[in-house]
A and B are shown apart, each in its own frame.
Chain A
Amino acid sequence: MGANGIGTNGFMALRLTVNNHPGVMSHVCGLFARRAFNVEGILVTPQQGGDTSRIWLVVHADDRLGQMIRQVRKLHDVLEVLAFEADQSALSRMDECMAGWEQAGPCAEAGM
């Protein structure tokens, strides 16, 4: 990673393939929080078979990106890290995808 991999709009998307177990989100989010790397957006999708998940992280493409990727690679449940040029449009379109769920309104009973 480096200057030649940075998106023109200042965002990058990191695609993490991770072991799918209850602690893995804590490991990834905790790392970003304690190393003071900002995450602009996050999306998790289970993969076929259920043994692995994909975590998409939208981050600022600053000069700490290389360090960020090296730190994430050290996590034992992270199997692969790839970086892509990105913008925030994909994540904002996710809102549209959820609109179908929202249409009927929230369930009254849940958690009340």
Chain B
Amino acid sequence: MFEGNGAELVIRLLERQGVKRIPGIPGGANLPLYDALGASRQIRHILARHEQGAGFMAQGMARTTGAPAVFFATSGPGATNTLTAIADAKLDSVPIICITGQVPSSLIGTDAFQEVDIYGMSLPVTKHNFLVRSVDELVHVIPEAFRIASSGRPGPVLVDIPKDVQTARVSLRELPEPAQPDPVEAPDAQAISQAAQMIGQASRPILMLGGGVAASGASAAARALAEAASLPSTMSLLGLGILPDAHPLNLGMLGMHGTRAANILLEECDLLIVAGARLDDRATGRLERFCPAARLIHMDIDQSELDKLKVAHLGITGDVGASLAALLPLVGANGKENDRAAWLARVAECKAANPHTFPGLDNPLTPYGLVRVTGELLGQDAIVVTDVGQHQMRAAQAYPDLKPRAWLTSGGLGTMGFGLPTAIGAALANPARPVVCFSGDGSLQMNIQELATAAELGVNVTVVLADNGGLGLVQQQQDLFYGRRIFGSDYRVRIDFVKIAEGFGVRALDLNESRDPMADLERALKREGPCLVRVPVQAEDNVYPMVPPGAANIDMIGGETCTEKGGN
């Protein structure tokens, strides 16, 4: 039995879905929702300072737990501010639900105050969206939003609710059961056995693991298959951490800033098995020259990813964890799996000739050292978040033993400003775990207002800021591909980030001014509450190796002897 208004019904349905926290910002068109939220004993509201921040906080919750996370915004500018966080979630397949207030139905289409067509604007960046036209629809739309966000390939859903729908009275005899993700069909048995055969016949196979493996909780299945079928394995940016760093079959990341070994060996492979990755151009380089000698097995839960960029010799639609698990008993019996000595020797030789080492790893005042030392000080339990830029690539390259669901980075959209609010969301959903956010001065400035949210909540987030006074990755491209003409990418005002953070009520220190940087960094990482650690770095220090945009992965620049390049 339910008796109340539309807003109260929404909150009740969200409670029944198990929602515990909703970041957001109130405004004229969603005040009925806020009034109802204020009365909830189960859901805590997190007041963000910008709606994009609220969206990324929801992402931090969803990326670490796998469960859909909800955030609120009002109509007009509140709604448009959410779009970047929603687009980011679409490209990285993150289940978030954005609930916006809309002007009253009678005013829709009249250019009313704070009216925008957020339904139309969010259409290309959501998995699905709703404009709720009557209070009777709410009881279906809210559970449906959860079902869609979490079923199959996860993604963002937007629900736009006009103010009069929020205030309309509604009475229901009973409320629907909370929505669950749809069950996934088992992968096609014939395709699986064909895949096993192809793996058995391959002489030089490589397994490529993407974010879909992490999202489906299939790391163990991926590792078991790699080991059973002797498959050297590479990972996309979002797949990092599926295999431990030191695993002999681990080739590291592929692509633009991947390992030399992975990019070289992919050129030589005769079978590529792609699991839960969509062959983004940053991963593949020039597509015609990606794995030129290989047959392709592509496994994905989203059938439209198969044959989208590269036609697969065999496509397998289904949950990638189920596909990997179904393959496991079929490999290693009578194929060449036991006869891969030559390929594995070649892999070992290539890895030895192209070591994955970086300068200054033991010194927290260097761009790679701040990543590595932070990881060593934090240990296995930490959640690692990045912004976008050189620091992001260095974290991907040098952070020790990343873990699925504890490695949060903006892969597809590459959104500067992702880091801080996502870290806050991750900390809220995982209060017992330390959260580190690697950021740059360019990225941090894009959502720096959320330091106030972090201070208010007292979350365990340490921002490790690599401050180079500019847009480092842009400068790197200008340096390498635009005749060294550094233009529009250096900041002329040097910001005192320590003072800024302290102004927001966040403890901060400049590691460069520390007498014992190692001890001070450790203290900053292990103290309760938010903290900012600034480390000055040089913008001239490029990230290597690098595949020039549009070039083949094999044509990477630098990184041959990483130990002699770059660093302070």
Contact = CB atoms under 8 A, between A and B. Distances in A.
A10 to B, nearest CB: 21
For the residues of A in contact with B, the DSSP-based class is helix
A76 B148 contact: yes
Nearest to A72: B304
Nearest to B303: A70
Contacts of B120: 26
A58 to B, nearest CB: 21
Contact of B124 (A34, A67, A74, A76): A34
Contact of A27 (B123, B148, B306, B307): B123
Interface of A: 22-23, 26-27, 30, 34, 66-67, 70-71, 73-76
A53 B123 CA distance: 20
Given A22-B131, A73-B303, 10 more contacts: A23-B119, A26-B119, A26-B120, A66-B307, A67-B304, A67-B308, A70-B303, A70-B306, A74-B304, A76-B148
B304 A70 contact: yes
User: What bracket does the count of chain B residues touching chain A fall in?
Assistant: 10 to 19
Nearest to A70: B304
A74 B302 contact: yes
A25 to B, nearest CB: 11
B310 to A, nearest CB: 12
25 contacts: A22-B131, A22-B133, A23-B119, A23-B123, A23-B129, A23-B131, A26-B119, A26-B123, A27-B123, A30-B123, A30-B124, A34-B124, A66-B307, A67-B304, A67-B307, A67-B308, A70-B303, A70-B304, A70-B306, A71-B304, A73-B303, A74-B302, A75-B128, A76-B128, A76-B148
Interface of B: 119-120, 123-124, 128-129, 131, 133, 148, 302-304, 306-308
A75 B128 CA distance: 7
Nearest to A69: B304
A27 B285 CA distance: 31
A26 B120 CA distance: 7
Contacts of A73: 303-304
B53 to A, nearest CB: 27
B193 to A, nearest CB: 22
Contacts of A71: 304
Contacts of A27: 123
